[in-house]
Amino acid sequence: MATLTLNTSAVPASLASLNISDVKKPTQQTAVQMRRNKLSKQLWEQVQLATALASGGSFAPIRVRTVKDKLTGERKTVEQQKRIKPWWFTAEDGSVCLQVRYGVQVLEIGKGKNTITLASKEQLIDTLNLVKQAAEHGELDKHIAAVATKATINFSR
């Protein structure tokens, strides 16, 4: 029986222009990356909610939960609508105020300031997308970490 041996040091000519390396895929995400992803997902939901409300519709994503049946005692999966609360409100002067949240806590975006004030609701979707990009690029990592450590301290009491 003949054995097949591959010359692994030779790169095919069609792939020679690519940057080929020996990098292992990480098995876990860092805490910073998980926090970014969580905030990014929440901001995506807020963008979808704002878009739906602007067009006169509604947005309620479906989540799958496992519940125990009270009569039979067996577990089954049930689809439920997830309730999303808007992060914005209208101020007394008619401006739209947006508070970026991480979980249930409001992020402090500037020193002692936690609200982004907009002139009208038309700017809301663009502003949410801008904040989402900033979160994905790591510009809000310090703010997220401050809120996350505060929540961890409160949780451990």
Q: Tell me the percentage of the chain whose pLDDT exceeds 70.
A: 90
Residue 154 has pLDDT above 80, yes or no: no
- Strand blocks (E) in 25-74: 62-68
Q: Tell me the percentage of the chain whose pLDDT exceeds 90.
A: 36
pTM greater than the 0.75 cutoff: no
Return the minimum-mean-pLDDT range out of 4-8, 53-57, 151-155. Answer: 4-8
Residue in 151, 144, 128 with CA at minimum distance from that of residue 36: 144
Residue 87 has pLDDT above 90, yes or no: yes
48 CB-near residues (< 8 Å, 6+ apart): 59, 61
At 88-139, the pLDDT tens digits run 999 999 899 999 998 888 988 888 889 999 988 889 999 999 999 999 998 9
Say if CB 112 and CB 97 are below 8 A apart: no
DSSP state of 123: G
Task: Give residue 6's pLDDT band: very low, low, confident or very high (50, 70, 90).
Answer: very low
97 CB-near residues (< 8 Å, 6+ apart): 88, 89, 90, 91, 115, 116, 117, 118
SS3 33: helix
Cα separation, 99 vs 86, in Å, equals: 9
At 38-60, the pLDDT tens digits run 999 999 999 999 999 989 888 88
Return the minimum-mean-pLDDT range out of 16-20, 135-139, 149-153. Answer: 149-153
Across the range 66-92, mean pLDDT stands at 90
